[in-house]
């Protein structure tokens, strides 16, 4: 194998190590379009952020605003507030650049590296996959938006609907979806606890922000039901410590806690048969507008595999 062949093989192996989920986690929706940040692209392309932006400045004619734009101060503050890995940018005065799908392809061409070209293909595939996923849920979001506007317009009718739903819940008939409005803490927690009590053998909760409030909801389970909570390591270190788990298990055995970092959404799985999607963490449900939806059980195996 000659030098060029060895270099190509090394690049191929390096690109293969980058997971699709990792790439997707670096894609943001800003100003209504999906973009990636200059610092994330630099890391993926194997160059410094400084060199990446220098190459862009040398080729500005190739990067119109539809390919690349600078984030405003407000946009940077929102990103930093919602993304732990960007905390180092909190006091930065240099604006970050955001690249659209076409921009990252152009960027790979001006960087002229084998890694950049190979990774840009992976990133493009991730953009396509996310567009397809968004297109599949767009009708559902549209319907939720229509429902929300109607309910806000007539609060008295909202209360009547809530009463009807909770009467149905008391009879054991759960609605397939539910929207909770800001400030409906009691209603939301009541709904979550009744869901937990449905489980006969096993509960799996995937929630990256689980804490003591989460355990309070899960304590409503039936005796003998196994509970698995998959959450972020920082929440385990701070809230779901071994001491907290031991205290829970003394009264409500058996709880197991796992650290995961691949999930953004929240899921509740009952007896490996019923799947619910939560629009907010269990500890925050009812604080702001959010929805709880029952999903097709066909997705359960793929979720459990990733735990």
SS3 annotation, 15-63? HHCCCHHHHHCCCEEECCEEEEEHHHHHHHHCCCHHHHHHHHHHCHHHC
What share of the chain has pLDDT > 70, as a percent?
Answer: 75
- The rounded distance, in Å, linking the Cα atoms of 115 and 46 is 7
Does residue 290 register a pLDDT over 90?
Answer: no
What pTM, to 2 d.p., does this model score?
Answer: 0.46
| Least reliable range by pLDDT among 98-107, 132-141, 252-261, 280-289 | 132-141
Residue 116 and residue 46 in contact, taking contact as beta carbons nearer than 8 Å: yes
Q: What is the mean pLDDT of the chain?
A: 79
pLDDT at residue 106 is higher than 90? no
Instruction: Return the structure tokens found at 108.
Output: 């790979």
Structure token digits, residue 69 = 């734009």
**Tell me: the pLDDT tens digits for 40-52?**
888 888 888 898 8
Ranges 14-18, 59-63, 65-69, 177-181: which has the least confidence: 14-18
Q: Does pLDDT of 255 surpass 90?
A: yes
The yes-or-no verdict on residue 75 having pLDDT over 70 is yes
Measured distance CA(146)–CA(201) in Å, rounded: 37
Does 62 have pLDDT greater than 80?
Answer: yes
How far is Cα 264 from Cα 17, in angstroms, rounded to an integer?
Answer: 21
Question: Which position has the higher pLDDT, 131 or 248?
Answer: 248
In words, the CATH class of domain 177-305 is alpha beta
Q: Give the domain ranges of the chain.
A: 3-131, 177-305
Predicted local confidence at residue 70, as pLDDT: 93
What is the average pLDDT across 133-153?
58
DSSP 180: E
Secondary structure (3-state) at 165: helix
Q: Is the pLDDT of residue 195 over 80?
A: yes
Region of poorest pLDDT, from 23-32, 54-63, 66-75, 206-215: 23-32
Helix ranges, 100-219 (H): 101-111, 114-153, 155-170, 185-198, 212-218
> Which has the higher per-residue pLDDT, 1 or 127?
127
């Amino acid at each position: 194998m000659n030098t060029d062949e060895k270099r190509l093989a090394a690049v191929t192996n390096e690109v293969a190590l980058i997971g699709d989920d990792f790439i997707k986690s670096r894609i943001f929706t800003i100003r209504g379009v999906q973009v990636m940040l200059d610092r994330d692209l630099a890391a993926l392309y194997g160059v410094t952020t400084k060199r990446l932006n220098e190459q862009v400045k040398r080729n500005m004619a190739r990067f119109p605003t539809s390919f690349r734009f600078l984030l405003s101060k407000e946009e940077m503050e929102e990103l930093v507030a919602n993304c732990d890995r960007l905390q180092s940018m909190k006091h930065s005065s240099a604006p970050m650049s955001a690249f659209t799908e076409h921009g990252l392809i152009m960027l790979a061409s001006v960087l002229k590296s084998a890694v950049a070209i190979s990774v840009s293909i992976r990133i493009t595939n991730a953009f396509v996959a996310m567009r397809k996923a968004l297109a599949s849920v767009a009708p559902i979001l549209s319907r939720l938006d229509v429902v929300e506007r109607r309910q806000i317009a007539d609060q008295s009718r909202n209360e009547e609907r809530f009463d009807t739903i909770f009467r149905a819940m008391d009879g054991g008939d759960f609605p397939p979806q539910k929207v909770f409005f800001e400030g409906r803490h009691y209603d939301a927690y009541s709904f979550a606890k009744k869901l937990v009590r449905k489980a006969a053998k096993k509960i799996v909760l995937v929630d990256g922000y689980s804490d003591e409030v989460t355990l309070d909801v899960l304590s409503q389970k039936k005796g003998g039901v196994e509970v698995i909570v998959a959450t972020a390591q920082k929440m385990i270190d701070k809230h779901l410590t071994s001491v907290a788990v031991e205290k829970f298990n003394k009264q409500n055995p058996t709880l197991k806690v796992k650290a995961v970092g691949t999930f953004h959404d929240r899921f509740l799985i009952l007896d490996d048969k019923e799947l619910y999607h939560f629009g907010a963490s269990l500890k925050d449900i009812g604080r702001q507008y959010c929805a709880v939806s029952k999903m097709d059980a066909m997705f359960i195996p793929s979720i459990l595999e990733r735990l």
